[in-house]
Amino acid sequence: MMNRTGSGDGPKSARPDDASVELDGRSLTLRDVLRLARPPREGKAVTAALSPGAVAAARQSVRLRDSLIAERKPIYGVTTGFGDSVTSQVSPERAAHLQRNLIRYHLNGTGPDTASDVVRATLLIRANALARGNSGIRPEVIGKLLEHLNADILPRVPERGSLGASGDLVPLCYVASVLLGDGEVRFGKKSVPAAVAQREAGITPVTLEAKEGLALINGTSFTAAFAAIAAHDAARLAEAAEIATAFAGEALLGNASHYAAFVHDAKPHPGQRTSAGQLRRLTADSGLSTTYEAIRDSTEPLHEDYRRLDQRIQDHYSLRCAPHVVGVLRDTLSWAEQWLTTEINASTDNPLFSVDEQRVHHGGNFYAGHVGQAMDSLKVATASVADLLDRQLALLVDPKFSGGLPANLVPPSLDAEAGLHHGFKGMQIAASALTAEALKTSSPASVFSRSTEAHNQDKVSMGTIAARDARTVNELTGEVAAIALLAGAQAVELRGLSKAAPAVRRVHATIRAHVPFADGDRRMEADIAAVSELIFNGELARAAGFSPDKDSDAAAA
């Protein structure tokens, strides 16, 4: 397994198994990222190490780096200044000092501290990017990232300060600083100086050589970490939206024929078809929802010129078009996950060393444009799901549309206290506010490129902001989904739980194991938090018969 002593012998390779991930810079999966970012609260945590091939490739890259430096010709960021200061060349003897100053002058992040799961993912993805062997950094230094990850020594990283090109300079400097023994870390449940945690874990700080500071900070790993976790959580929201739609359809005595395979095979977007199939499964064997055929058969033929039907043969769009809305999220995830998989297996710093060609290349792989585009698209699709669920909730609580359910889902048992209880009225207000915030936050960040750094960085991706926004939209949509599910559970119980589809009853039981029926007005913020956690930890999806990845089900530590 990974050497944690910091002896300077370089990282030892891990034997691949269920408890280890071996990094080669090319085969890291999003599933791996989640396994290490969100370790189980109990049981053996997953660890990571460099593959033997990655160690060898890094050593070759360093040898090429040193041979080129010896020629005393300018190499960007190695023997020159940074950014617009590229015209300043320093001697090889001063190259290492230059790297230390690079880290110092970027320690100006602001905002809240980054969550532990994102920091873990950042450490992993940065190590994997460097494991490709193109970056001129020793394997011992790459190994320090993994030693901190495996010991769960997490740098304190402010969220704000990255343009998403030239990579995540500011946040990754906080990571690099810790490797040098400076800065603050989260270790256990405490915030302590990095040096204290390193002594306790037996980790020796590094002394950087030429290029190594730039290799650590000039990349998209912080952005990609937010994005990988956002994509995972958005997939959970797609499942939650389908479950909530099934509840709403049951409670509103909806028309399940809208989800017929024929309809969606006629417009065969994969996500739409998947979503419709899940809704067919979730509402199967229901005694509450109906079909067009059942409505038709119970309706007498028309023998006069006009009549008003007792029952709608088509539901409102928020029920009828749910597969079309959730399907957009599912399909957005399908290509966003492909882009993210490429990003987390890429060399994203500059310059890069080609051992085969024995030359250095200057480029811009630090530009997080693909991640920014993916996250801007993801947050729009996710916020649209929040809007869908908010509209369904409006139908459930309003007796003009709910088909006989009590106003605001106040139980009839409270008739003796009529006028004193308001049920889910406040919950709908909260859901509307959360939805508005999600929709507002879905505004694209990638269009706000700013020219900076003496117009050297004159076109930037804003991918980091887009990825952080995607995380925020997920949180807001999760809260909307929780409210919609709580209302759905209440409404199905009022309608007659025994008649509901088996899958709906299973989910209802899971919700009721954590949140009681609202038999009168009470505080409900804890209810929202409890159901939101059920969404993101996968428990709700498992109860509904989905098959979420078991290895990524643990909640964030």
The per-residue pLDDT for range 249-273, each reduced to its tens digit, is 999 999 999 999 999 999 999 999 9
Torsion from C-alpha of 403, 406, 408, 411, nearest 10 degrees: -140
Residue 13 is predicted with a pLDDT of 38
Angle CA 16–21–25, to nearest 5 = 110
Please count the helices (runs of H) and the strands (runs of E) in the chain. Answer: 20, 9
| CA 340 vs CA 34, 143, 229, 333, 346: distances in Å | 13, 23, 10, 10, 10
Across residues 312-332, what is the average pLDDT? 97
Q: Yes or no: say if 23 and 128 are a contact pair by the CB < 8 Å rule.
A: yes
Across residues 406-435, what is the average pLDDT? 93
Which residue did the predictor score with more confidence, 490 or 44? 490
The two tokens of residue 271 are 């996500």
**With bands split at pLDDT 50, 70 and 90, how would you rate the model's confidence at 45?**
confident
76 part of the active site: yes
Taking only the tens place, the pLDDT of each residue in 50-69 is: 999 999 999 999 999 999 99
Residue 548 is predicted with a pLDDT of 61
Residue 9 is predicted with a pLDDT of 38
d(CA 68, CA 557): 44
Q: Which residues pair with 359 in a beta bridge?
A: 354
Residue 10 is predicted with a pLDDT of 40
φ/ψ (deg, to 5) at 163: -90, -5
| pLDDT tops 90 at residue 547 | no
**With bands split at pLDDT 50, 70 and 90, how would you rate the model's confidence at 418?**
confident
Across residues 21-42, what is the average pLDDT? 95
d(CA 468, CA 158): 12
**With bands split at pLDDT 50, 70 and 90, how would you rate the model's confidence at 18?**
low
| CA 144 vs CA 48, 151, 198, 202, 215: distances in Å | 11, 10, 11, 11, 13
Residue 549 is predicted with a pLDDT of 58
SS (H, E, C) 375-439: HHHHHHHHHHHHHHHHHHHHHHHCCCCCCCCCHHHCCHHHHHHCCCCCCCHHHHHHHHHHHHHHH
**With bands split at pLDDT 50, 70 and 90, how would you rate the model's confidence at 43?**
confident
The two tokens of residue 14 are 């891990």
The two tokens of residue 17 are 């198994």
**Residue that is written with structure tokens 């609580």 in the block:** 397
Taking only the tens place, the pLDDT of each residue in 342-359 is: 999 999 999 999 999 999
| pLDDT tops 60 at residue 552 | no
Across residues 89-105, what is the average pLDDT? 94
| pLDDT tops 60 at residue 16 | no
φ/ψ (deg, to 5) at 423: 50, -120
d(CA 17, CA 14): 9
**Cis-peptide into 158, omega within 30 deg:** no
d(CA 549, CA 329): 18
d(CA 535, CA 479): 10
Residue 6 is predicted with a pLDDT of 35
Taking only the tens place, the pLDDT of each residue in 512-528 is: 999 999 999 999 999 99
**With bands split at pLDDT 50, 70 and 90, how would you rate the model's confidence at 11?**
very low
Residue 417 is predicted with a pLDDT of 87
Q: Yes or no: say if 210 and 69 are a contact pair by the CB < 8 Å rule.
A: yes
**With bands split at pLDDT 50, 70 and 90, how would you rate the model's confidence at 534?**
very high
d(CA 299, CA 114): 59
Residues 6 or more apart in contact with residue 299 via CB below 8 angstroms: 309, 310, 311
Q: Give me Rg for the CA atoms of the chain.
A: 27
**DSSP label at 291?**
-
| pLDDT tops 50 at residue 364 | yes
Q: Yes or no: say if 249 and 291 are a contact pair by the CB < 8 Å rule.
A: no
**With bands split at pLDDT 50, 70 and 90, how would you rate the model's confidence at 539?**
very high
The residue annotated as part of the active site, out of 76, 105, 306, 367, is 76
**With bands split at pLDDT 50, 70 and 90, how would you rate the model's confidence at 284?**
very high
pTM score, whole prediction: 0.93
Q: For 110-124, 214-228, 543-557, which range has the lowest pLDDT when averaged over its residues? A: 543-557
d(CA 345, CA 25): 5
φ/ψ (deg, to 5) at 513: -70, -15
Which residue did the predictor score with more confidence, 444 or 11? 444
Taking only the tens place, the pLDDT of each residue in 422-459 is: 999 999 999 999 999 999 999 999 999 999 999 999 99
Residue 14 is predicted with a pLDDT of 40
Mean pLDDT of the chain: 93
| CA 103 vs CA 111, 179, 213, 456: distances in Å | 19, 11, 7, 19
